[in-house]
Amino acid sequence: MSFTAVDIIKTKRDKQELSDEQIDWVIDAYTKGEVDPEQMSALAMGIFLNGMNRREIARWTQAMIDSGIRLDFSTLDKPTADKHSTGGVGDMITLPLAPLIASFGVAVPQLSGRGLGHTGGTLDKLESIPSFNCNLSNDDILQQLAETGAVVCAASADLAPADKKLYALRDVTSTVESIPLIASSIMSKKIAEGTGALVLDVKVGSGAFMKSYEQAKELAQTMVDLGKDAGVNTVALLTNMDTPLGWAAGNAIEVQEALDVMNGKGPDDVVELTVALAVEMLKAAGKPTPEAEVREALTNGQALRKWREMVTAQGGDPDAPLPKAKYSREILAPKSGTLTKLDALAVGVAAWRLGAGRARQGDPVQAGAGVLFHVKPGDKVIEGEPLLTLLTDTPEKFEAAEDSLKGAYEICETSVDFQKPPLIYERID
């Protein structure tokens, strides 16, 4: 059947449904360069403004999967499970989670990305480990899963190539914040990755991509539906990202925090979320495990041994010292009282401005840069004591980072009954 890009654009412009055949044709033609970027931009804006129904989103997702290869882990003698986070600040959960799950005999093919803007990238964090290799072939991934059980690396170029092309276009045409396009982008890669079970960590709050609870819940449900329609056992947790996770936002400092977690010394919120996601992943993979057993494995050396195996398998040195920033500056409490706010977005932007993140794909990042936070909402603070420590190799970045932190924290001098919000809001399946 023959189509034209103009007719397909007009269909969505006029708030009509795209047929399966129209979707298949336009994704294939755009991937091959037969649909111009300006035409796909117009279609993306039509989708942004007028949306898609469940059938359209599912077909759009499948068309992007079909634009490349789909990994096959059927030769493994163990089930597979993966986790995807929609991105936040201090979100290094993948680092302890992947080896933890692998230590229970479930393979974890974790294809991750690099950071952009205020949200950190898992690969940037891992690449702060000396010699760690994030670029593996598909054969290497399969071999490492068979031998070690966990791999965290970049996706190959032949995995959902239509999504890579469309993602870059959305970034420069102000069509990123579209639930159909976000959901299909995430799920096309995850389904093509070949995992049998998937747990989604959908962040909501100031430091998240989705600021409102309603939007985050809609995105989570859309992705769960897409996973189930594709035969992937999928569940989602809606989690709080108004306050950064843990005590660090950066690259090497988050790796160190992951090591602390696996040595039984990690922050309570990181441990809680890691355990919750692990319980969901093991259940989805057909290996339900009591929470107490999962928690014990995270801190008794079981996960840490698997971490060392994974790092070594990917060329890294698990005993090498992590990079440290050359310069530091403390942000001191201007008064005594109770900390009632620590804004995740502001902290993430500060870490980015210090060199931990990038403004454009391909920009370099500093391994040691970032922000350490010494208190969390609900904690007592004393005037003159440190609230935050800024880290960078380029001290001229301190001023811009400090500017981003204006209004990022609030201290109540009077007695306050601070109610800490939940870390996990809701489970969606």
Report pTM.
0.95
Average pLDDT over every residue of 70-90? 95
Identify the band that residue 177 occupies on the pLDDT scale cut at 50, 70 and 90.
confident
Query: Rounded to an integer, what distance in angstroms lies between the CA atom of residue 378 and that of residue 381?
Result: 9
Domain with CATH 3.40.1030.10 in the chain: 81-313
Average pLDDT over every residue of 269-292? 98
The pLDDT of residue 360 is 75
CB 405 within 8 A of CB 347: yes
The pLDDT of residue 321 is 97
Average pLDDT over every residue of 375-395? 97
The pLDDT of residue 132 is 97
The pLDDT of residue 22 is 97
**Which range is least confidently modeled, 91-95, 171-175, 308-312?**
171-175
- pLDDT for residue 362 is more than 80: no
pLDDT 10s digits, 31-58: 999 999 999 999 999 999 999 999 999 9
- Catalytic residue numbers? 84, 163, 170, 185, 189
> What percent of the chain clears pLDDT 90, i.e. is strictly above it?
90
> What percent of the chain clears pLDDT 70, i.e. is strictly above it?
100
CB 97 within 8 A of CB 212: no
Identify the band that residue 103 occupies on the pLDDT scale cut at 50, 70 and 90.
very high
Query: Rounded to an integer, what distance in angstroms lies between the CA atom of residue 170 and that of residue 350?
Result: 25
Query: Rounded to an integer, what distance in angstroms lies between the CA atom of residue 261 and that of residue 267?
Result: 7
The pLDDT of residue 364 is 87
Taking the CA atoms of residue 173, residue 177, residue 179 and residue 181 in that order, the dihedral angle to the nearest 10 degrees is: 30
Identify the band that residue 1 occupies on the pLDDT scale cut at 50, 70 and 90.
low
The pLDDT of residue 58 is 96
Helices (H), 230-343: 252-262, 268-284, 291-299, 302-313
CA 97 distance to own-chain centroid: 13
**Which range is least confidently modeled, 14-28, 309-323, 408-422?**
408-422
The pLDDT of residue 357 is 87
The pLDDT of residue 397 is 97
328 to each of 125, 271, 357, 368, how far by Cα in Å? Answer: 19, 27, 17, 10
Query: Which residues touch 6 (CB under 8 Å, ≥6 apart)?
Result: 39
The pLDDT of residue 417 is 82
Query: Rounded to an integer, what distance in angstroms lies between the CA atom of residue 40 and that of residue 235?
Result: 31
- pLDDT for residue 125 is more than 70: yes
Pick the CATH number of 5-51 from 3.30.70.270, 1.20.970.10, 1.10.287.3510, 1.10.1060.10: 1.20.970.10
Mean pLDDT (the chain) is 95
Q: How far apart are the first and last CA of the chain?
A: 37
- For 327-412, CATH gives 3.90.1170.30
**Which range is least confidently modeled, 137-146, 155-164, 266-275?**
155-164
Average pLDDT over every residue of 337-341? 95
Domain with CATH 3.90.1170.30 in the chain: 327-412
- For 81-313, CATH gives 3.40.1030.10
pLDDT 10s digits, 236-275: 999 999 999 999 999 999 999 999 999 999 999 999 999 9
- pLDDT for residue 170 is more than 90: no
The pLDDT of residue 382 is 96
